[in-house]
A and B are shown apart, each in its own frame.
Chain A
Amino acid sequence: MKKSHTLALYADMDEAANALRELKSSGMSGFRMEDVVVKSPIDHPELSELLGPRPVYIQWFTLLGVLLGPTTGLVLIASAQASFIYQVRGGRPVVPLPPDMVLTYELFILSGVLMTVLATFVAMKLPGNRSPLYNASVSEDKIGILVKADPQSIPQINEILGRHKPLEIMGDQAR
């Protein structure tokens, strides 16, 4: 079944928190807490607790980066040195390990950073994660609560959201 959306804007974190709390305890059918999205100008640890677990997987990508980057880097560097017409320099070994460690360290950081950035974009579904309802004021000073639910539950949800002094309620079925 196609779902409907509704977005309520609040001027205050506390009011948004109350609205979320009531939504959570309402136990309505046709709506899950995972489908609630809070849009806000800043990070909000106090609201996140109400929203339930929102797992982050970025660190696994980072781990992959810091493991693969330096090992492949060191092997590539050492084999490049070995293949470069047997160049002896300054009496040092052709494949000297301490200097190679310097570059390995830099590659460790570089691959870690790149994998983190990549993972972030994957996890945040950027670029182009446009959700159906957006209001520019959530980037200024308002807190938005976006709910996705079955169309028949929307009026009830709008009513709950409306009880906590929203500035505005938007969506297909908004009055």
Chain B
Amino acid sequence: MSHSVHSHPQLDVQVERKFIPKQKDLGADVTWAKINKDVLRSLEKPRPVFWVIFFSALALFSFGVYCEVYQYQNGMGVADLNNPQVWGLYIATFIFWIGMGHSGTLLSALLHIIHADWRKPIYRYSEAMTTFTLLTAALFVLVHMGRLWQFYYVVAYPNERWTWPNFTSPLVWDATAIGTYLTSSLLFLYMGMIPDLAICRDNARGARRALYRFLSMGWQGTDRQWANFKVAYMTMACFLMPLAVSVHSIVSTDFAVSQNPGWHVTSFPPYFVLGALYSGCSGIITLFIVLRYVFRFEAYMTQPILNKLIKMTFAIAMVWTYLDLIEYATTWYGSDEVAKADLIYRATGDYALQFWGMIFCAMVMPFTLLIRFVRHNYVVLLIISLILNVGMWLERFQIITPTFAKSHYPWTWTAGWWPSWVQWGIVAGSFGWFTMLFMLYCKIFPSVSMYEVKEMVHEQNMEEKALAAQTDVHEAGLVPEMKGGQA
């Protein structure tokens, strides 16, 4: 800047150093006491809209349970699965759900490590989302099993026959990874919630008080507890983020380790991880809008925070798009003719609608996030975030189905396979199950982290105080003006 001023003295522009005020994440009226009041209010008697959502979810879940019982009694045949199409919607939806969870960890762990404070009001429900999506994904592992009643064979337990699971199978890696992820994220969620549970304990009565007293385990907010808590929480965050990356990489090895065309792709692990973060981020946007409305969290789930979330989602969507395109490019320019034929079949064959639907929903639609109107209109944004997730579900569908329809062996090429109502019912039921659990969670546990929002408010106040002090000093003329050259 100074160069231009010096080399063009005729442009004698006075460069004024102006402080550009950052848009504050929280309003000025948020105080510590208000935070307690607002968040604890979300645990009280629900509004009617809560019951509407809860009971629709319960109805969906009940239908899913009916379908599963029907399948359990009659055999997997009721799902219209057949010899090449052995997995159908079950594994596609499994990947979808397990992917949904990853963004919760991104917000709660990675953004915690890099001190991105805007995560604080929204990470708690994202972390809860992680836990419940993992529980939902685990359901699909069970649902797709031919002999559900023998599921414990996959678990490594000592027995007198010296039989063990096959540790080389990606499915055992899956089970271990999901088990580790579920345990760790549940503990991470719980640990981060302890100070808030103490707040609930201090404000609740009756059975709830007993529950919170038990769960908060005697937290009193002493300095020693805080010091230990901070170290422990950071340590957990450092474990959780690589864990999340490893979990979806392992899920991708279900496909990348096998040799089917369209699956045997080296770039699958990062592609899956990014896809997971992508669908998770749009899931967080969906829940952001829903919770903001249902629980009146307008003061905490603010537009600046939403803007940052949308920026992150858009960036992740673009990286995912890139990885998707290089997957096609490497197949196209590669030497594997079968994989190439499979790619052409995906784009032009029986499942072309799903393929192009995915391209539209997941690759084109994120660009609407660049429009200011979309970011500020919550109804439109809600619909768009759902469309992005439809796109990601279609992506999983078109990874699995076309590959089975046209794999290495020509005699098994089938056209126009379509899942039966049982599969659709179980998939719908899983959405009910997730929503039900999540809504229950929001009524029992604080879905906004109170102590961390308090930290945010405290920091904002400190900043303001420091700024005010600085302005005073400036006005008194005690500090010389900054030189333009340093700008």
Contact = CB atoms under 8 A, between A and B. Distances in A.
Interface of A: 13, 37-44, 47-48, 51, 54, 56, 58-59, 62, 77, 80-81, 83-85, 87, 89-90, 92, 96, 99-100, 102-103, 105-107, 109-110, 112-114, 116-117, 119-121, 123-131, 134, 136, 138-141, 146
A90 B455 CA distance: 56
Nearest to B226: A43
A131 B187 contact: no
Interface-centre pick from B172, B180, B191, B236 (highest chain A CB count, 10 A): B180
Interface in B240-255: 240, 242-243, 246, 250, 253
A116 B235 contact: yes
Contacts of B378: none
Interface stretch (B196-204, B302-310, B313-321, B322-330): B196-204
Contact of A110 (B180, B194, B199, B202): B180
Given A43-B226, A85-B162, A116-B236, A139 B187 contact: no
Contacts of B226: 40, 42-44
A129 B36 contact: no
Contacts of A58: 228, 231-232, 235
B166 A89 contact: yes
Contacts, number: 171
B4 interface: no
A140 to B, nearest CB: 5
Closest 10 CB pairs of A and B: A141-B32, A127-B217, A136-B202, A120-B232, A126-B217, A99-B168, A80-B164, A123-B228, A38-B223, A110-B180
A131 B220 contact: yes
A42 B36 contact: no
Contacts of A138: 220-221
B222 interface: yes
B114 to A, nearest CB: 18
A81 B180 contact: no
Interface in B171-188: 172-173, 176-177, 179-180, 183-184, 187-188
10 contacts: A41-B195, A43-B230, A59-B231, A80-B167, A81-B167, A106-B250, A109-B180, A110-B180, A110-B184, A124-B229
A44 B31 CA distance: 17
B218 A37 contact: no
Interface of B: 31-33, 36, 156, 162-164, 166-168, 172-173, 176-177, 179-180, 183-184, 187-188, 191, 194-195, 198-199, 202-203, 217-232, 235-236, 239-240, 242-243, 246, 250, 253, 450-451, 454-455, 458
A24 B271 CA distance: 57
Contacts of A136: 202-203
Contacts of A47: 223
Nearest to A83: B162
Contacts of B191: 117, 120
A137 to B, nearest CB: 8
Given A54-B224, A139-B202, A140-B33, A106 B176 contact: yes
B223 A51 contact: yes
Contacts of B188: 113
A37 B164 contact: no
B202 A106 contact: no
Contacts of A81: 164, 167
A48 B250 contact: no
B239 A112 contact: yes
Contacts of A110: 179-180, 183-184
Contact of B232 (A41, A51, A117): A117
Contacts of A84: 162-164
A106 B454 contact: no
Nearest to B36: A140
Contacts of A119: 232
A103 B165 CA distance: 12
B164 A139 contact: no
Contacts of A126: 194, 217-219, 225
Interface-centre pick from B173, B184, B191, B232 (highest chain A CB count, 10 A): B232
A164 to B, nearest CB: 18
A108 B172 CA distance: 16
A140 B136 CA distance: 35
A103 B173 contact: yes
Interface-centre pick from A89, A116, A119, A129 (highest chain B CB count, 10 A): A116
A56 B231 contact: yes
